Structure 1
Amino acid sequence: MEAEIDMAELGEKIIEVIKTIYDPEIPVDIYELGLIYDVFINEDREVKILMTLTTPNCPVAESLPMEVEDKIKSMKMVKDAEVEITFDPPWSQELMSEEAKLELGML
């Protein structure tokens, strides 16, 4: 039971770190933008993040996933991290949180 709590806590900490990463063209963090589809953590504390980009031709297509991976790998509780990019489903404004929409004046 304690390991489960630790994993839940680790998941929350990973999301906190992800929320410090911003899309350089939009003043909203990538989590609130809806670019993070899922965060998987196995029992060895290896993390896999499934994310997308606003477009396949995004100017930060190479650097943004690396930034996410590097920041997660730097966490003491994480053994390893990998970011996988997907465009299925494609990103759309509907994936943005209410907070992001409010920040961008869409509400």
Structure 2
Amino acid sequence: MATFKDQGMAALAQVIDPELGVDVVGLGLIYDVTLDDAGECVVTMTLTMMGCPLTEVLANDITAALQGLPGVQHVEINLVWSPAWSIARMSRAARLTLGV
């Protein structure tokens, strides 16, 4: 049976960064996703740069993707800057797609 983290990451893999055209998991932006007994889902993530103009768009898409999972009552996004994002965090497929 898949853990909630597995289910959450699979749902988040459907969220596409509209600027880059690659999913947020493949980009390495998602550090963790958890669900507590009260239905509080917390996503710990970063962005490729501070002040990203798509922050709100991504937050809305992430929330929508996770709210469809069983047991999720509320989604909280914990935006962190450490560890810092780098190209090394990207999946091989994302690197190939972006030509890096």
TM-score normalised by structure 2 residue count: 0.85
Indicate if the aligned counterparts of 2:40 and 2:75 stay in contact, CA closer than 8 A.
Answer: yes
Partner of 2:17: 23
Decide which of 45, 51, 70 is 1:51's aligned counterpart: 45
* Aligned-pair CA distance for 1:70: 2.7
How big is each residue's C-alpha offset from its partner over 1:21-56, in whole Å with a ceiling of 9 and x where there is no partner?
Answer: 111111210000000011122233421000111111
Decide which of 21, 28, 31 is 1:34's aligned counterpart: 28
Structure 1: gaps spanning 5 or more residues = none
Moved more, 62-71 or 20-29: 62-71
Q: Displaced runs of 4+ in structure 1, greater than 4 A?
A: none
Counterpart residue type for residue 48 of structure 1: V
Decide which of 66, 69, 77 is 2:71's aligned counterpart: 77
What is the distance in 2 between the residues matched to 1:82 and 1:71?
Answer: 13
Indicate if the aligned counterparts of 2:15 and 2:65 stay in contact, CA closer than 8 A.
Answer: no
Q: Which has the higher contact order (CA 8 A, sep 6+)?
A: 2
Structure 2: gaps spanning 5 or more residues = none
Helix, strand or coil at the partner of 2:52 = coil
Partner of 1:93: 87
Helix, strand or coil at the partner of 1:62 = helix
What is the distance in 2 between the residues matched to 1:84 and 1:39?
Answer: 10
TM-score normalised by structure 1 residue count: 0.80
Task: Tell me the matched-pair count.
Answer: 100
Give 1 or 2: higher strand fraction: 2
- Aligned identity (percent) is 32
